[in-house]
Amino acid sequence: MADRRLAGPVRIVGTGLLGTSIGLALTARGVDVILADVSPASVALAVDYGAGRRAEAGDEPELVVVCVPPDVTAALVASELAAHPGALVTDVASVKVGPLAELLSLGADVSRYIGSHPMAGRERSGAISARADLFIGRPWVIAGHDGITYRRAAAVEQLALDLGAIPIEMTAEEHDRNVALVSHVPQVVSSLLARRLGAAPDSAVSLAGQGLRDTTRIASSDPELWVQILSANASPVVDILREFRDDLDAMIAALDAPDARGARRTIAESLAGGNAGVARIPGKHGQSAQFSQLVVIVDDRPGQLARLLTDIGEAGINMEDLRLEHSPGAQIGLAEISVLPEAEERLAGELVARGWRISEVSL
């Protein structure tokens, strides 16, 4: 049995991507996981994947984790609080102010409720996309409130730690403002950019490179879920979108008359502001260190990427990040390897010595 902090049982309500991923990770640690969902088929699928077991009479969970869309989160949390009077109940909805306010209006026992939110996910949904390692190294926000003590809420911190996540304490208001900037607005911007591709000619789409893939990757997310998320956190999202619109208007005005006095400065300062913002995004495990990149040319043959990763490991160099680009029809791919700056020269030498080609072009 793997080391763990939670004794269990843990009841998970909602067997989609997050619920099933939590179940897989806890089950791997030997925790007794109880699965529930309005859809019997969804529960059966999650059970088949090994995320836990079906509920049984007499179950007394230590912790209940509600993993359902935002519009039904509060109602289900209230129901679970009433059904399991000895359990702490949390939810993983991506908004926190609304559910807490609704629970207070319902008169629910919030002395046993604390909202939380793992900053992890995938573009694909459902139990079939679940992964036990989904939360490793990811922030897990715990949104405390005046109605619960730190000691009573400890099981949620233990949950995050057992899943390999990094617990971060915030108020519900702080959480919603922060995720508007780092999650909700990026979804809107990515989707609106990707929408431009719908009517684009095939000749344009065929030229798409890594830049377009990076900026539109999350545009394939579930529209129905995002309607709920954006509606529930509309005010802070709108505030940021208005500021974004002002930046766009300034860029449009400069590009409309690029030879006008100050236009090029506006363009340059806008782009430099982007550089400064990107530099603040934490790297692996929350590090703020800036990394160097090497772009390696990889032949389009089976096993080549695996060989590259093996060679990096055998060289004793820790890879901080990896990006891949492979244009349709090309016989090669490009692998951008991010490492600490002091390791860049040694990695390049090791890879060249092992027969790899280093590209001079960054992705």
- The per-residue pLDDT for range 196-214, each reduced to its tens digit, is 999 999 999 988 887 888 8
Q: What average pLDDT does this structure show over 169-185?
A: 96
Alpha carbons 320 and 294: distance in angstroms, whole number: 12
Pairing label, strands 33-36, 53-54: parallel
Asked whether the beta carbons of 290 and 341 are under 8 A apart, the reply is yes
Q: Identify the weakest region by mean pLDDT among 236-240, 288-292, 331-335.
A: 288-292
The amino acid at 261 = R
Alpha carbons 90 and 97: distance in angstroms, whole number: 14
Residue with tokens 């990006």: 323
**227-276 pLDDT tens trace:** 999 999 999 999 999 999 999 999 999 999 999 999 999 999 999 999 99
The pLDDT > 70 percentage for the chain reads: 94
Quick check: bond before 9 cis, omega within 30?
Answer: yes
The pLDDT of residue 1 is above 50: no
The pLDDT of residue 48 is above 60: yes
Alpha carbons 152 and 210: distance in angstroms, whole number: 47
**68-78 pLDDT tens trace:** 999 999 999 99
Asked whether the beta carbons of 148 and 112 are under 8 A apart, the reply is yes
pLDDT for res 12: 98
The pLDDT of residue 290 is above 80: no
pLDDT for res 240: 97
**50-94 pLDDT tens trace:** 999 999 998 999 999 999 999 999 999 999 999 999 999 999 999
pLDDT for res 361: 55
Alpha carbons 357 and 360: distance in angstroms, whole number: 10
Pairing label, strands 166-171, 88-91: unpaired
Binning the chain into helix, strand and coil, the percentages to the nearest 5 are 50, 15, 35
Quick check: bond before 139 cis, omega within 30?
Answer: no
> pTM of the entire structure?
0.79
Q: Identify the weakest region by mean pLDDT among 24-28, 109-113, 126-130, 247-251.
A: 126-130
pLDDT for res 23: 96
Residue with tokens 């027969």: 355
* pLDDT level of residue 334 (50, 70, 90 thresholds): confident
**DSSP designation for 321:** E
- Domains and their CATH numbers in the chain: 10-171 (3.40.50.720), 286-359 (3.30.70.260)
Q: Identify the weakest region by mean pLDDT among 45-49, 167-171, 213-217, 242-246.
A: 213-217
pLDDT for res 340: 85
* pLDDT level of residue 330 (50, 70, 90 thresholds): low
pLDDT for res 273: 95
**34-46 pLDDT tens trace:** 999 999 999 999 9
Alpha carbons 323 and 232: distance in angstroms, whole number: 33
pLDDT for res 362: 58
pLDDT for res 248: 97
DSSP string, 160-204: HHHTT-EEEEEEHHHHHHHHIIIIIHHHHHHHHHHHTTTTS-HHH
pLDDT for res 319: 87
Query: Average pLDDT, whole number, for the chain?
Result: 90
Q: What average pLDDT does this structure show over 308-325?
A: 87
Alpha carbons 24 and 46: distance in angstroms, whole number: 9
